[in-house]
Amino acid sequence: MLNITSGRVARPQKLVLYGVEGIGKTSLAAQTPEPLFIDTEGGTAHLDVRRLQKPATWDELIALIKEVAATPEVCRTLVIDTADWAEQMCIDFICAKYKQPGIESFGYGKGYTYLAEEFARLLAACDEVILSGKNVVITAHAKMRKQELPDEQGAFDRWELKLSKQTAPLLKEWPDALLFLNFKTLVVATESNTHKAQGGKRVMFTSHHPCWDAKNRHGLPEELDLSYASIASIFGDAQAAPRMASATQTQPSPSDPVQQAQPLPTVTPETLSILTGWMDQKGIKPEEIQTLVAQKGHFPPETPIDQYPEKFVRGWLMHNWSQVVATIEANPEHTPF
């Protein structure tokens, strides 16, 4: 008999953070819920974080991941820092196993085939961690490669994961969100009518672009400030639950009569701050949100955003943010600036 279900399924998150050197990948990962690091390159020495002993071999790395999956309450988020150093451990393992001096020595790309098969073991072990109820965050470095366009139309620089061509696609396909972290340089005009670079704001890109790989299944804006507050919604109610439990204010919803008799916590300051940042980025006014929410039959138009329930803000408004933005921007009366 077919067992058919519908609706969203709550589960731990798979997140990959990659970017240029010194951008803050490890520091960002350290702010995720109750992280536990497997530090393959020694990049957490300057951070006050919980970490496991540095694995000496590829087999030891896989064993550590599996042990985290099998150990309840050891953490809420496993962080593997970084994927490219883990790949080098995998290469060393394969070369030792087949008694070859290097991965190129196998011939006909056979060494890279073995590499992809072994790297898939790491991702399978990470899936076991997900099934155990823990998030998994993997960090990686970025490298620049010259991208040639077809029909001799030109070439441009493109950022990619600092992995081999066989393992990079595996890591790109695996997560719920692949975020590219980089410095955004602003170009300004001088008094002499020349242009120069100014500043270097740290940002995260969440969607695919010709110049980098990125994706997300959370409806995030295409560009975010590089801060944990920008991606806190990825981890959902599991993070907000302690704060929500302390709120007791009742907020009636005309679309759900059952909820009118139940106490619903209003949106937390942290969530409201994230939403306000998203609105500022798109030039969206609070009354535009309130009008759209009323049109969808959720709350009256006079209900302020800070009185919306936390569950509604995260579960509907933020989850469908890209559609919300598109609907508002399509309104002829929308004047962002």
Contact 290, 303 (CB under 8 A): yes
Q: Is 26 helix (H, G, I), strand (E, B) or coil?
A: helix
Q: For the chain, give the number of residues.
A: 337
CA–CA dist 221, 89 (Å, integer): 35
Is the domain of 282 the same as that of 158? no
pLDDT band at 314 (very low <50, low <70, confident <90, very high): confident
Judge whether residue 52 has pLDDT over 90. yes
Is the domain of 255 the same as that of 306? yes
Name the token pair of 307: 């009185």
For the chain, give the percent of residues with pLDDT over 70.
Answer: 83
Q: Is 3 helix (H, G, I), strand (E, B) or coil?
A: coil
Averaged pLDDT, 147-155 = 62
Higher pLDDT, 96 or 254: 96
Q: pLDDT tens digits for 105-121?
A: 888 889 999 999 999 99
Is the domain of 223 the same as that of 258? no
Is the domain of 161 the same as that of 231? yes
Dihedral over alpha carbons 263, 264, 265, 267 (to 10 degrees) = -160
Is the domain of 210 the same as that of 93? yes
313's CB contacts (< 8 A; 6+ apart) are: 267, 271, 272, 275, 305
CA–CA dist 284, 232 (Å, integer): 21
Averaged pLDDT, 54-59 = 94
Judge whether residue 246 has pLDDT over 60. no
Judge whether residue 258 has pLDDT over 60. no
Higher pLDDT, 265 or 182: 182
Residue 188 domain flag: yes
Domain with 297, as residue range(s), is 247-329
- Token pair 């620049």 is found at 144
Residue 65 domain flag: yes
For the chain, give the percent of residues with pLDDT over 90.
Answer: 48
pLDDT of residue 267: 84
Higher pLDDT, 203 or 242: 203
Name the token pair of 226: 């590089």
Nearest Cα neighbor of 318 from 214, 211, 229, 225 is 229
Instruction: Write the CATH number for 148.
Output: 3.40.50
Mean pLDDT for the chain? 83
pLDDT of residue 300: 85
Per the structure, the count of domains in the chain is 2
Judge whether residue 4 has pLDDT over 90. no
Residue 4 domain flag: no
Residue 57 domain flag: yes
Strands 195-205 and 223-225, by their bridges, are antiparallel
Q: Three-state secondary structure along 147-180?
A: EECHHHCCEEEEEEECCCCCCHHHHHHCCCEEEE
pLDDT band at 322 (very low <50, low <70, confident <90, very high): confident
Is the domain of 190 the same as that of 42? yes
Q: Which of 174, 201, 236 is the last residue of a domain?
A: 236
φ/ψ region of 7 (left if φ > 0, alpha if ψ in -120 to 50, else beta) reads: left
Q: pLDDT tens digits for 124-146?
A: 999 999 999 999 999 999 998 87
CA–CA dist 278, 275 (Å, integer): 5
Judge whether residue 236 has pLDDT over 80. no
pLDDT of residue 178: 97
pLDDT of residue 42: 85
Q: pLDDT tens digits for 59-110?
A: 999 999 999 999 989 999 999 999 999 999 999 999 999 999 999 888 888 9
CA–CA dist 228, 29 (Å, integer): 8
